[in-house]
Structure 1
Amino acid sequence: MDIEEILRTLRFAGGDTAAIEVKSAAGGYPSTTLESLGALANTPGGGAIVFGLDERRGFTPTGVYDVQKLKQRLGNEAQDFTPHVRISISDAVVDSKPVVVAEVGECDAAFKPCTHVSGKSWVRSYDGDFQLSDLERQGFLSNRAAPHFDMAPVPGTSVADLEASAVAAWSDTVRREDPSGLGRFDDEDLLRHGGVVTGAGELTVAGLMMLGEYPQTWFSRLVVHVARVEPDGSFRNAKSLSGSIPRMLASAVDWVTQNVDYVMVSGPDGHLRDVPAFPVSVIRELVGNALVHRDLAPWSEGIAIHLRIYRDRLVITNPGGLYGLTVERLGREAISRSRNAKLVALGVNVSAPGGVRVVESLASGLIRVNAELDGQGLPRPTFVDTGIQFTAIVKATRHRAPRTPTTMVELIGAKQQQVLTALIEGGQVGVADLVERTGLSPTVVRRALTALREKRMATVVSGGRGRETTYEAT
C-alpha cells in the first residue's frame, strides 16, 4: 500500500479507517499494536498499521523510535496468534522522517477468529478495536460453514401464524411472475416449495420473518431499534419497530421521514427547495438490506438492527458481515449473494406497505443508490464489514447555496476554492471539519483560510482560549 495513497485516504476520512490504523511510535512501541494486529486479521480484506504519524495533528510525521526494533517486535507478536498473523512490512519516508507500514493479511474464514496466545481475540469497528465477547466469537465460528439458518424450523409454529393477506399477495405475485415454476403448485405445496413451511408443517425462520403475523412472539429482538442521537449523546424518539420484515421496513422509512432534518438545496433551476437530509429512497434500500442480510444464527438472536440519526450522518448496523463478496464490490456490480438465500428469494415477491418490493430482483439496489447520490452531488455510502457486523453510513445533505460566481472563483487558487466551497456548504465550521470535507491537510486548510480572509471571502465567527475557531463564507 503506497504511503501517499494512505495519507490521502486518512486525510479525506479525517481519522483512522476500518482498514488503516495509525500509531505515533515516536516514544516507543505502541501498547495497542497487539489488538490492531488481531483485529485487522479478523477484518475482511485485512488492513494496514502505519507507524510514525500523528493523527491528532493531521497525520504529520513523528518518526519511529527505532525502525529495526519495531519491525522485530512486530514480527514476533504476529507469531503469537493462531493462526499466525500474516504481515508484510515496508519502509517509507514522509517529510524526511521514517514511517513503517505493516500490511496485515486477512485470516482464512475457516480459522477465524484469529486468537492470541492469551486466549483473546479482537475485532475492528469503524471507530476502534474491541475484544471479542464469547457471543461474538460464536458468530465467527458459525461463519466457518455455509449458513442456512433462515431455513431452520421454528418449533410451535404453523400456517395459522402467517398473515393471511401477506400470503395471498405473495402467492398471487409468484403465480403471475413464475407460472411454470414455483407458481404452478397449489397453496400447500407452494408454501413448502417456497420455503415458508417445512415438510412437518412448521414455519421456517424465513417464512415467519417475511410473512408472519408477528415474528417477535418467537424472536423478541429481531427488531429495528431507531433513535435520534443528540450532540450530547442522548437519545430522542427512540423506539423498537417490530412486525414482519415488510412492516419493519415501512415503519423505519416512516420514522426517518418524521425525525430527519430538512435542509434548503438550490436546484439546477436556481430555486431553493426543502429536502430531507437523507434521501428517503436510499434509506429504504439500506434498511431493507439490513433486514434481509442480517445474521439469523442463534448467536445473533438477541441483537437488534440499529438505525441512528446524527446531525451529520445516518448509521445502520446489523449483526453479520457480508457473504460471498467484499465491500469494494458493493454498488459496482449487480451481485446476488446472501447468507439468507431463502429469505431473499421470498422478499423478491413480497411488497412492503406502499407497494415497494422488499428485495430488488436484479440485485441492482446499491447501484441505483450510488447513481441517485451521484446525481445529487452527495457522497456515496460508506460500508464497514467486520465479519460479524455490517455498518452503512450515509452523510447528510447539507445546505447548499448557489455556486460562487465565476468572477470570484478566478481570484483564488484551487485549494482556496475547495475550502471556500466547503465553507459555503457547511455554514459555520472549524478546521477539523474543513479537513474532513476537503481531504486537505490542516496546514493547507489554515493557509487557505488566511488567504480567503485577506480577500474578505471568509471571516471568523467564534473562537478564543479553549474554544475551537469557526469560520464562514462572506
Structure 2
Amino acid sequence: MSGGLVTADGGVLRDVERLRRQRSDDALCEAKAAGGGLPKDIWETVSAFANTRGGRILLGVSEAGGFVPAEGFDPQRVIDQFVSGMGDGGQPPQLTNPPVYTIERAELEGRPVVAVDIAENDLGRKPCWRTAQGIEKGSYKRVDDKDLHLSSAEIYEMRHALTQSSVDLSAVPRASLKDLDESQLHALLQRRASSVALRGTVDHGERLRRLNILTEDASVTLAGLLSLGVYPQQFFPRLLVDVTVHPGLAKATGGGRVRFSDRQQCEGALPEVVQTAVAATARHLQRYATVEGSGRTEHLEIPEDVLREAIANAVVHREYADLFQGEPVTVDVYPDRVEIASPGGLWGGKTKDNLDDGRSMCRNRVLMQMLQHVPHHEAAGFTVEGQGGGVRMMMNQMTAHALEGPEFTVHPDQVVVTLRRHGVEIPALRQWLQSLSSETLTEQEEAILLIARRNGGVTVPGLRQSLGADSDVLRMVLDGLASKGLMRETGTDSYALWAEEQGLTDAEQSVVDALASGHAQELSVHDVARATGRAVTSLRPVLRGLVERGVVVATAPPTSRNRRYVLPDG
C-alpha cells in the first residue's frame, strides 16, 4: 500500500508506513480520520503528548481502513477548528497550558492530510489539561497508543517539579527528642561543633534548631527523624527500603507458586537503611577476584559503590509529600539486573538527559544537608556526598568494570535505575582474559580489554570519560597492551583487539544478524535491543562503531529521534 504514497514531508511518509506495519498508533503518532470535522477526543491526545514526550497527530488518516485517506476529510475546516481550539482563533482555548504546535499539509495517495506536531511542554507548564474537565479528570499522558488519565501523584509531581519542597522541614506529630539516637546526635554535633552553623549558639536546643533537627517550637522535623531517629518507621511505617529477590526475570503474578525467593525490609534511620539495603542486595550478587601486584582483590559483580550511590540517591531524592508516604523505595534483584525504584519524579529541571551534568539538585535540601554529616551506623563515611557527581561516578565505575552503564527510566511519579548483572558471564570473561596472555594483567588493562571486546574497540577520549584516567596514562597502558600483542592501533588514539581483527565481536555480530533478519527494514536502537536481548546503553557504542566502519548505515544524525539502522545495499 505504501507504494502509492506521495507526500511533501518524508516524516509523514515514514510515520504512515510505520503505523501500517504495526497496524496501530504508537507513543509518538496518532491517526484520526476527522471525516466529519475535528474529533472531540483530539484534546485528550494533545494533552497526552504535551505531558509526555510530544508527538504527531495525522488528521485525515483512517486507522479503521488500514491507515488510508479518510472519506469526507476537509483539511481547511479541520485546521480552522484546531487553531480555534488551541486559543489562536479568538476563542477561549480548550486546554489549560496549551502546548506549542506546528501544522503542515501533506498528501497521502493523492489525497490531502494534515500533520500536527505537538511539542512537549516545559516543566513549568505541566500538566496540560482539558479545561472543561478540570485538572484531575482532564490531564492525560501517552502510553503506547493510548491516552490515559494522569494519576493524582503524577499531577502533584508535575505541578511541583520546580517548587522547592519544605516537607523535610515539617514537624512530625508525636515525635520528640527521646525518639532520636543519642549517639548519632552526639556524633553530628561533634562534627559540626566548629562550623558556622553553630557559631554563637549557647544551648543544646538552639543548636538543634540551627541544624533543623527541631522546629522553632521544639518539635522534631521529618529530616531530623529520618536522619537520626531510633525507629522512624514507628511514625512512617512505609518510609523504608524494600529489597526483594526474584527467581525469574519479572515479578511473579499472584497465580505463581514462588513469588520471591528472599525479602528484607530495611528499617531504621536512613544511614542504617542504606547500609542494610546495600548488604541485603550484595548477598545475592556474585563475586570474582583480580590480582593487583602481590595482592588479591575481591569484586562484587555490580560495584558496591554503585549500589550504595543508587540506593542513597533513591532515599534522599525521593518525594516525601503526604501523597507518597505510603510508598517505600524498592530494590528488586533479578537474575539479570537490579532495579532501584524511588517514589516521585525528577526535580529542579533535572531530566534523563542531564542527570550526569554535575549539578546537585535536591527537593529535600535539609535532608540532603543533614545526611552529608550523619555517619553510617558502624561504618566509615557518610550516606551522601551532595556534590552532584554521583551519577557520573556510577557510570565510570560500571564502565571501569566493563559493565553496561546504569539505565534511568523516568516517570512523572517514579524514577527507576537499572543496573545490569553479568554474573553468568563472569567465569567466561575471566577465562577469556586468561586466554589472551600468560602474564598477569592489571585491573586497568583488564577493564580496557573487556570494554574493547564489548564495543568492538576503544578510543583514548572514550576511555578517559569512562575510566576517569589521564589521557597520557591511558596511551601508555594501550601502548603496553599493543607491545604484548593484545591490541592494535587502528587510528589516532584508536585501538582494537588483535583477536578481533578478522571479524566482528559477539555484540557486533548480534546487531548485524538482527538487521539481516529485518529484511532491509530500518530498525531503531530499541528494535535492535529487543531483537538481540542487549541493553540500549550497551548497543549505542556498538552501533556507532559499526556505522563508522561502514558495516551499518544510519538513516539520520545521532541526535535525531528518527535515527534508524540498516545494512548497506549489497
TM-score by length of 1: 0.69
Amino acid across the alignment from 1:323: W
- Counterpart secondary structure, 1:216: helix
Give the conservation status (yes or no) of the 8 Å contact 2:287–2:301. yes
**Structure 2 CA distance for aligned equivalents of residues 91 and 313 of structure 1:** 46
Amino acid across the alignment from 2:328: A
2:398: which partner in 1? 373
1:338: which partner in 2? 362
- Counterpart secondary structure, 1:329: coil
Residues 257-277 of structure 1, C-alpha deviations (whole Å, 9 max, x = no match)? 1123x27699999xx998544
Give the conservation status (yes or no) of the 8 Å contact 1:213–1:244. yes
Kindly indicate whether residue 119 of structure 2 is the aligned counterpart of residue 104 of structure 1: yes
1:419: which partner in 2? 509
Give the conservation status (yes or no) of the 8 Å contact 1:246–1:351. yes
1:396: which partner in 2? 421
**Structure 2 CA distance for aligned equivalents of residues 151 and 257 of structure 1:** 33
Residues 377-410 of structure 1, C-alpha deviations (whole Å, 9 max, x = no match)? 3232222333332222222236163359856633
2:47 to 13, 38, 45: 38
**Structure 1 CA distance for aligned equivalents of residues 126 and 340 of structure 2:** 25
1:182 to 177, 198, 213: 198
Deviation at 1:196, TM superposition (A): 0.3
**Structure 2 CA distance for aligned equivalents of residues 358 and 126 of structure 1:** 38
Q: Report % sequence identity.
A: 23
2:175: which partner in 1? 157
**Structure 1 CA distance for aligned equivalents of residues 56 and 291 of structure 2:** 43
Residues 233-252 of structure 1, C-alpha deviations (whole Å, 9 max, x = no match)? 32422342221111110111
Alignment CA distance shift 1:279-1:123 (3 Å)? farther
**Structure 1 CA distance for aligned equivalents of residues 299 and 34 of structure 2:** 51
**Structure 1 CA distance for aligned equivalents of residues 336 and 117 of structure 2:** 32
Deviation at 1:42, TM superposition (A): 2.8
**Structure 2 CA distance for aligned equivalents of residues 278 and 127 of structure 1:** 36
1:350: which partner in 2? 374
- Counterpart secondary structure, 2:27: strand
**Structure 2 CA distance for aligned equivalents of residues 127 and 170 of structure 1:** 52
1:321 to 336, 345, 354: 345
**Structure 1 CA distance for aligned equivalents of residues 535 and 367 of structure 2:** 42
Amino acid across the alignment from 1:411: Q
**Structure 2 CA distance for aligned equivalents of residues 148 and 28 of structure 1:** 47
Give the conservation status (yes or no) of the 8 Å contact 2:43–2:95. no
Moved more, 26-35 or 274-283: 26-35
Gaps of 5+ in 1: 8-14, 52-61, 424-428, 445-474
Kindly indicate whether residue 257 of structure 2 is the aligned counterpart of residue 251 of structure 1: no
| Residues 136-147 of structure 1 aligned to structure 2 (within 5 Å) | 136-143=154-161, 145-147=163-165
2:216: which partner in 1? 199
Alignment CA distance shift 1:421-1:125 (3 Å)? closer
**Structure 2 CA distance for aligned equivalents of residues 273 and 421 of structure 1:** 35
**Structure 2 CA distance for aligned equivalents of residues 209 and 380 of structure 1:** 30
Residues 297-330 of structure 1, C-alpha deviations (whole Å, 9 max, x = no match)? 1111112212212333222222222222322222
1:433 to 533, 541, 545: 533
Kindly indicate whether residue 137 of structure 2 is the aligned counterpart of residue 122 of structure 1: no
Residues 2-59 of structure 1, C-alpha deviations (whole Å, 9 max, x = no match)? 999xx9xxxxxxx9xxxx934585999999987664344234xx444598xxxxxxxx
1:227 to 241, 244, 249: 244
| Residues 294-305 of structure 1 aligned to structure 2 (within 5 Å) | 294-305=318-329
Residues 343-364 of structure 1, C-alpha deviations (whole Å, 9 max, x = no match)? 1110110122322311104332
Give the conservation status (yes or no) of the 8 Å contact 1:171–1:183. no
CA RMSD of aligned residues (A): 4.7
**Structure 2 CA distance for aligned equivalents of residues 359 and 295 of structure 1:** 17
Alignment CA distance shift 1:330-1:351 (3 Å)? same
Alignment CA distance shift 1:273-1:160 (3 Å)? closer
**Structure 2 CA distance for aligned equivalents of residues 148 and 135 of structure 1:** 17
Give the conservation status (yes or no) of the 8 Å contact 1:85–1:104. yes
TM-score by length of 2: 0.58
Kindly indicate whether residue 100 of structure 2 is the aligned counterpart of residue 86 of structure 1: yes
Gaps of 5+ in 2: 1-8, 15-21, 59-65, 87-92, 108-112, 253-258, 433-452, 457-485, 487-496, 514-528, 547-570
Higher RCO structure, 1 or 2 (CA under 8 Å, sep 6+) = 1
Alignment CA distance shift 1:385-1:421 (3 Å)? closer
The alignment of Structure 1 onto Structure 2 pairs a total of residues equal to 402
Kindly indicate whether residue 298 of structure 2 is the aligned counterpart of residue 285 of structure 1: no
Amino acid across the alignment from 2:127: P
**Structure 1 CA distance for aligned equivalents of residues 156 and 345 of structure 2:** 13
Give the conservation status (yes or no) of the 8 Å contact 1:316–1:391. yes
Structure with bigger gyration radius: 2
